[in-house]
């Protein structure tokens, strides 16, 4: 794919080409456009160059030869115009920089989107859903929906601790962090999580079936965690 536009510095161009006839101007510009679009040199074959510049008559072929020998340098792989080669290199450098900037910008937008999604999940997890009962429902005190930065950091540390104990590779995704933050808001501390994790690893670590439940979804679920924490003997809590 060619670049968006070909730069023409009229002052420089006219300075070097004022003596050319209109025919030679046309040949020269068509050859330059080909180099720009192809991002490379003209072919070495004269007939191919004639086709590029639309030269048919003997006079036009003579103009082609003049332009080639005057403004181009013959190399092993084609005819090069020094100024055009420099402009192509410069345009490719700018294009590459723009692509890199675009990729960085896109990555930053994705990161911000993930962070917003995480905060939304954690915020929604901050308000527990009342459990229906057959008796008179007691209204629970409201829980703040704000998520503190240290709660997210602590949740990540707890997931890392779980990975260390289980040898698994759970990631700090919104789905894994949200239940931990919710339990932190209920008043549980870092030590409570570590005790429950260590205890369940001891209990389930050798049971192939139960090992599958050593995961955030199971361990930090509101109902499960409350039960696991309540089952910890006082000696472990002390």
229 and 158 part of one domain: yes
Domain boundary among 42, 65, 88: 88
User: Does residue 14 fall inside a structural domain?
Assistant: yes
pLDDT value at residue 33: 94
Its sign, for the CA torsion 111, 176, 222, 149, is negative
Q: Which domain holds residue 53?
A: 10-88
Q: What is the DSSP string of 138-151?
A: PPPPP------HHH
* Within a domain: 177: yes
pLDDT at 235: 52
Note down pLDDT in tens along the chain; length 238 residues: 556 778 888 898 999 999 999 999 999 999 999 999 989 999 999 999 999 999 999 999 999 999 999 999 999 999 999 998 888 888 888 877 887 888 888 888 887 887 777 777 766 655 444 445 444 444 443 344 567 778 888 999 999 999 999 999 999 898 899 999 999 989 999 999 999 999 999 999 888 888 888 999 899 998 999 989 888 876 555 5
The answer to whether position 124 is within a domain reads no
The verdict on residue 30 lying in a domain is yes
CB environment 207-237: b (16+ within 10 A), e (fewer): eeeeeeebebebbbeeebbeebbeeeeeeee
Q: What is the pLDDT of residue 4?
A: 72
pTM: 0.42
Domain tally for the chain? 2
């Amino acid at each position: 794919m060619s670049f968006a536009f070909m730069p023409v510095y009229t002052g420089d161009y006219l300075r070097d080409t004022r003596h050319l006839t209109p025919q030679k101007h046309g040949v020269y510009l068509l050859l330059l456009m080909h180099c720009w679009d192809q991002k490379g040199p003209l072919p070495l074959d004269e007939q191919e160059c004639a086709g590029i510049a639309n030269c048919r008559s003997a006079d036009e072929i003579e103009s082609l030869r003049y332009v080639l020998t005057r403004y181009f340098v013959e190399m092993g792989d084609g005819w090069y115009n020094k100024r055009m080669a420099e402009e192509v290199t410069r345009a490719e450098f700018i294009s590459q920089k723009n692509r890199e900037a675009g990729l960085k910008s896109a990555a930053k937008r994705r990161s911000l989107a993930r962070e917003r999604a995480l905060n939304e999940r954690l915020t929604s997890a901050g308000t527990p859903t009342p459990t229906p009962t057959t008796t008179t429902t007691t209204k629970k005190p409201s829980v703040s929906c704000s998520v503190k930065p240290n709660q997210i950091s602590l949740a990540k540390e707890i997931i890392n601790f779980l990975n260390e104990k289980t040898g698994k590779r759970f990631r700090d995704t919104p789905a894994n962090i949200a239940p931990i933050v919710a339990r932190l808001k209920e008043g549980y501390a870092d030590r409570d999580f570590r005790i429950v994790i260590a205890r369940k690893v001891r209990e389930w670590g050798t049971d192939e079936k139960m090992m599958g439940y050593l995961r955030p979804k199971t361990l930090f679920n509101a109902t499960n965690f409350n039960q696991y924490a309540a089952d910890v003997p006082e000696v472990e809590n002390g």
